[in-house]
Amino acid sequence: MSGGVDSSLATALLVRQGHDVTGAYMKNWINEEGIIGHCPWEEDITDARAVADQLGIEFHVVNLMHEYRERVVKYLLEGYQSGITPNPDVMCNREMKFGVLWDWAKERGFEAIATGHYAQKGSSVPGSQFSVHGSRFTGTNSEPGTVNSELDSDAIYRGADSNKDQTYFLAMMQPEQARIAQFPIGHLLKPELRDQARELGLKTADKKDSQGICFIGQVKMEDFLRNFVPDSPGPIVDLEGKVLGQHKGLHLYTLGQRKGIGVASPLHKQAYVAVAKRPEKNELVIAIERPDTPLLWARRCTLTGISTTGLPLTGARTLNAQPRYRCPAGLADFVPLGEGRASLIYHKPQRALTPGQICALYDGDRLLGGAFFESISYD
Ligand X SMILES: Nc1ncnc2c1ncn2[C@@H]1O[C@H](COP(=O)(O)OP(=O)(O)OP(=O)(O)O)[C@@H](O)[C@H]1O
Q: How far is the CB of 360 from ligand X (least distance, A)?
A: 15
Cβ partners under 8 Å of residue 276, min gap 6: 255, 284, 285, 295
Measured CA to CA, the distance from residue 286 to residue 32 in angstroms comes to 37
Neighbouring-strand partners of residue 366? 157, 363
* Among 49, 97, 300, 366, contact with ligand X (rule: CB under 6 A): 97
Segment interacting with ligand X (CB under 6 A) among 113-121, 216-224, 237-245, 270-278: 113-121
- CB closer to ligand X out of 5 and 301: 5
Q: Is 365 in the site for ligand X (CB under 6 A)?
A: no
191-224 core/surface letters (b: 16 or more CB in 10 A; e: else) = eebbebbeebebbbbebeebeebbbbbebebeeb
* Among 85, 115, 120, 350, contact with ligand X (rule: CB under 6 A): 115
What amino acid is encoded at 2 in this protein? Answer: S
Q: Is 26 annotated as a binding residue?
A: yes
Q: Is 4 in the site for ligand X (CB under 6 A)?
A: yes
Q: Which residue of the set 214, 301, 327, 359 is catalytic?
A: 214
Residues between 197 and 236 that touch ligand X (CB under 6 A): 209-210, 214
Cβ partners under 8 Å of residue 280, min gap 6: none
Q: Is 370 in the site for ligand X (CB under 6 A)?
A: no
Number of residues that bind ligand X (CB under 6 A): 17
Q: Is 116 annotated as a binding residue?
A: yes
Residue nearest to ligand X (CB): 4
Segment interacting with ligand X (CB under 6 A) among 4-12, 119-127, 295-303, 348-356: 4-12
The bridge status of strand 58-63 relative to strand 22-27 is parallel
**Contact at 8 Å (CB) between 156 and 120?**
yes
- Please state, as a whole number, how many other Cβ atoms lie within 10 Å of the Cβ of residue 8: 30
Catalytic residue list contains 92? yes
Residues between 21 and 50 that touch ligand X (CB under 6 A): 24-26, 28
Measured CA to CA, the distance from residue 374 to residue 379 in angstroms comes to 17
Catalytic residue list contains 301? no
Q: Is 357 in the site for ligand X (CB under 6 A)?
A: no
Angle subtended at Cα 347 by Cα 346 and Cα 349, rounded to the nearest 5 degrees:
65
Segment interacting with ligand X (CB under 6 A) among 72-80, 112-120, 148-156, 315-323: 112-120
List residues binding ligand X (CB under 6 A).
1-2, 4-7, 24-26, 28, 97, 115-117, 209-210, 214
Catalytically active residues are 92, 214
